[in-house]
Structure 1
Amino acid sequence: MKRTATAATCATALFAAVLTGCSDSTSGEGHGPTASTASPSAPATVDTKSAGKLGSILVDDKGNTLYLFLADKKNKSNCKDACAKAWPPLLTKGAAKVGNGVDKKLLDVTKRSGGDEQVTYNGHPLYHYVGDTKHGQTNGQGLNQFGAEWYVLDVKGNKVES
C-alpha cells in the first residue's frame, strides 16, 4: 500500500513538473508552443504553412499551428485558467505582424480579461495547443475540450474541418 501511495505521489509530482515546464512563453528548438504567464515583449507574427490534407493554415513565426475555439465570441476569448494552460493564447505586444499569405485586413488584436493583448484573425482569438510538441503538428485539430471544439484556420480565417 505504501509503494502505491509513493508511486502515485511521484506520478503526481512528475505531472506537475511537466505542466510547470509548459509555463514558458518561448518555444525551444524542435519543441512546440508552451503556455505563458508573462506578457510578450514583442509583436507576434501570423504566417501560413501547408499542412497536408488541411491545406494552407495559420501558424506563428516559428511554424507552430494556430487554432480557433468555437466557444469564443467575435474578438472575445472564452478560454482562461486551465483552458489557457492547455491552449495558450497567441499574445502580442502591439499590433501583430503579417506573414506570407496572411490578409492584413483580417489580422487584429483584442484585450483578454487580464489585460494581455491576444491576436485575432477574422474575429477569432488565436491559440496554440500544448499537445503540439513539434513545429507543424496539428494534434489539436477537431478536439472537443473546455466545452467546445478547436480547429485550425485557413488563410481566409475560417475553421478547417478534416
Structure 2
Amino acid sequence: MRHHARAFIAVAGAVFVATAATAYTDGNSHAPSAAATSSSSSTVSAKSGSLGKILVNGKGQTLYLFQADKTSKSTCNGSCAKTWPPYTVSGKPTAKNGVQSGKLSTSTRSDGSKQVTYNGHPLYTFSGDKKAGQTNGQGLKVFGAKWYVVGTNGKQITKTTSTSTPSVGGY
C-alpha cells in the first residue's frame, strides 16, 4: 500500500509541477512572468463607458492603477500580480484614440519585463474582468490598497458603477 501512495504522490507532484510550469510561461520569451499581460500590439487607447473615458489595452481590457504604487515602480508582485496582471510590452507602448502619448512610458519590473505606465502610474489588468470593457476591479481594496480604472487625464476614476463587484476571496 505504501508503494501505491508514494507513486500517487509522485504523479500528483509531477502534474502540479507541469501545471505550474505551464502557468508560469505565457509563450512569449520576452515575458518571463505568467502574471504579466503582454501584448505585441502594445497599444493603450481610450474607451467610453459608465465610468467615463477610461484606458484599455490593445485587447480592450480595462487598465487599472494601484494606490500602493507611489512611483512608476510597481509594488504588486507574486499573488498580487496573479490577480492584477501587470500590463507589459516588449517594445514601446503606442497611444491611440484620445490617450496622451506624452504620459505613456514603461518601468522595469523586478523580473526584467517592461510594464506600461501612464502619468507615472504602473498599469494592470484585473483577472476578474472576463470580457473586454469590464470594470469589476473598480474600487476594490486588496493587497493593502485600492484599485481604480485610469482616465485619459492619467488620474484614477473613483466613482463606481451601479453593478455589483465580485469578491476577491482571501485577499
- TM-score over 0.5 for the alignment? yes
Matched, 1:161 2:152: no
> What is the TM-score of this pair, normalised by structure 1?
0.76
Matched, 1:45 2:43: yes
Which letter maps to 1:122? N
Q: Unaligned 5+ residue runs, structure 1?
A: 1-15, 27-34
User: Which residue of structure 1 aligns with residue 126 of structure 2?
Assistant: 129
CA distance in 1, matches of 2:40, 2:128: 25
CA contact (8 A) 1:43 1:93 kept: no
SS in 1 for 2:82: helix
CA contact (8 A) 2:37 2:87 kept: no
Which letter maps to 1:119? V
Which letter maps to 2:112? G
Larger radius of gyration: 2
CA contact (8 A) 1:57 1:153 kept: yes
- Give runs of aligned pairs for residues 61-80 of structure 1, distance below 5 A: 61-80=58-77
Residue 145 (structure 1) shift: 0.5
User: Which residue of structure 2 aligns with residue 146 of structure 1?
Assistant: 143
User: Which residue of structure 1 aligns with residue 54 of structure 2?
Assistant: 57
- Give runs of aligned pairs for residues 31-42 of structure 1, distance below 5 A: 36-37=34-35, 40=38, 42=40
Which letter maps to 1:75? S
Matched, 1:111 2:98: no
SS in 1 for 2:45: strand
CA contact (8 A) 1:72 1:124 kept: yes
After superposition, the CA RMSD in angstroms is: 2.5
Q: Unaligned 5+ residue runs, structure 2?
A: 1-15, 28-32, 160-171
Residue 42 (structure 1) shift: 2.9
Residue 73 (structure 1) shift: 2.1
SS in 2 for 1:114: coil
1:58–1:23 distance in 2 versus 1, CA, 3 Å: farther
Higher RCO, Cα 8 Å, sep 6+: 1
Residue 41 (structure 1) shift: 7.1
CA distance in 1, matches of 2:149, 2:36: 25
Which letter maps to 1:60? N
User: Which residue of structure 1 aligns with residue 80 of structure 2?
Assistant: 83
